[in-house]
Structure 1
Amino acid sequence: MDRLRAPYVKRNTTTFYYVLSAIIGTVAVSYGAVPFYKMICQQTGWGGQPIKSPSHGNVGADPASRLSPVTSSRRLRITFNGSVSDVLPWKFTPQQREVRVLPGETALAFYTATNKSSEDIIGVATYSVTPGQVAPYFSKIQCFCFEEQRLNAGETVDMPVFFFIDPDFVNDPNMAKIDTVTLSYTFFKARYDKNGNLTPMPASMG
């Protein structure tokens, strides 16, 4: 019976996090309820506070205060890529092709990973943002990158990315002609170095 219930429990859990993320983003952005946003993030264990780049100034400011959509700005097209190294027998793809957001507006995206092998495997993801000059303005509130992800044999999981483009994006003249930003993740088979630190395994290694 437990085995039959497992897929439904997993699906309900994914739906719960999706709905909760959407509620958090809507409330925080639409009403500017920064204390409410911080409280929910702390209680759900999501890390809660986006990391603000030092180049944005106001070093002592509360990072959550950055969540204020710049309604006078054009919407940015955020696209998603996903790939895996040659030695990792996983399938890893974004669930959506793109989302459109205003600077300062939160957005939620999902990737799906499937372990196609007959063994449990630990993977670790790296990410990049293009064009590269946008990277300091791309702030992730919740993300699976640089953390080990263990997938059982044949297991499929959904991995959320909760992010926003810092409002200071609109004040940078170098961003004036940028309308599309691509977030790319690559999963590698994880290994541990001699100091016990988790590192990606290059494709040339088995």
Structure 2
Amino acid sequence: MKRLSPEGRTVAMLLGVVVTMGALAWAAVPFYNWFCSVTGFGGTTQVSDSASDEVLDEVVRVRFDANTDDNLEWTFRPMQTRMDLKIGENGLAFYEAINNSDVPITGTASYNVAPEVAGYYFIKVECFCFTEQTLQPGERVEMPVSFFVDPDLVTDRDADFVRDITLSYTFHKTEPRQAALDTGTADTIN
């Protein structure tokens, strides 16, 4: 077996560094999304299959916020500005979306809560944000979100002060999932 020259070893090491950095860059987004969903980092909320079975006698105020991406021709707003709930009590809030264009538009909602530390304790049971939404021209829909604030919030010394939480959504224009599958661009859709 022939040994590499010093220049060849340098090229091989540099190629190895480039391949390693490419692999790490490719894995960064899925790893970050996983990390945020597990820890609540960045205000990422949690998901549950069922409502809370424990309700405390302490109240938390949830405020609702709505935004749209600049290229989405929708009106999107919360149908209530705030809700006072007991910690652990299941809440049901509604958002309204209207397609102001003359063509069908599909959108996907991104979301977070503030303060960020509350993300780990803000639990969604059902949400319009779990799937893409397609609105026909002029269509108006009311979209529900079912949620609760986990009672463990009061025992976390980093979050026990939280009694005001803002749930914020931003709708982004996306290509409909089926159209993406038909055209082979499904990998580019969230």
Q: Does 1:199 align with 2:189?
A: yes
Whether the 8 Å contact between 2:74 and 2:101 is mirrored in structure 1 is yes
TM-score by length of 2: 0.67
Choose 1 or 2 for highest CA Rg.
2
The structural deviation recorded for 1:198 is 6.2
The offset of 1:176, in angstroms, is: 2.6
Aligned residue among 67, 70, 84 for 2:56: 70
From the superposition, tell whether residues 117 and 183 of structure 1 become closer, same or farther in structure 2 (CA, over 3 Å).
same
Shift of 1:85: 0.4
Cα distance in 2 for partners of 1:179, 1:198 equals: 38
On the 8 A contact 2:107/2:133 being kept in 1, the answer is yes
Rounded Cα–Cα distance in structure 2 between residues aligned with 1:107 and 1:179: 15
Counterpart residue number, 1:86: 70
Q: 1:140 aligns to what?
A: 124
C-alpha separation in 1, matches of 2:107 and 2:75: 12
RMSD (Å) for aligned C-alpha atoms: 2.3
Equivalent residue number for residue 101 of structure 1: 85
Report the residue type matching 2:186 in the other structure: G
Q: Within 5 A, what are the aligned runs for 1:153-192?
A: 153-191=137-175, 192=180
Name stretches of at least 5 consecutive residues in structure 2 with no aligned partner: 1-36, 40-47
Change (3 A) 1:197 1:109: farther
| Maintained 8 Å contact 2:92/2:146 | yes
Report the secondary structure of 1:187's partner residue.
Answer: strand
Query: Partners in 1 of 2:52 and 2:76 — Cα distance?
Result: 31
In 2, the alpha carbon distance for the partners of 1:133 and 1:105 equals 19
Q: 1:164 to 1:157 in 2, by over 3 A?
A: same
**Mean alpha-carbon deviation: is it higher for 88-97 or for 145-154?**
145-154
One-letter amino acid of the counterpart of residue 67, structure 1:
D
Q: Secondary structure at the match of 2:186?
A: coil
Partner SS state of residue 129, structure 2: coil
Query: Per the alignment, do residues 66 and 117 of structure 1 end up closer, same or farther by CA in structure 2, a change over 3 Å counting?
Result: same
5+ residue gaps, structure 1: 1-52, 56-61, 201-206
Percent identity of equivalent pairs: 39
**CA deviation string 1:89-133 (max 9, x = no partner):** 000000001001122110000000000000011111000111011
- Conserved 8 A contact 1:124-1:199: no
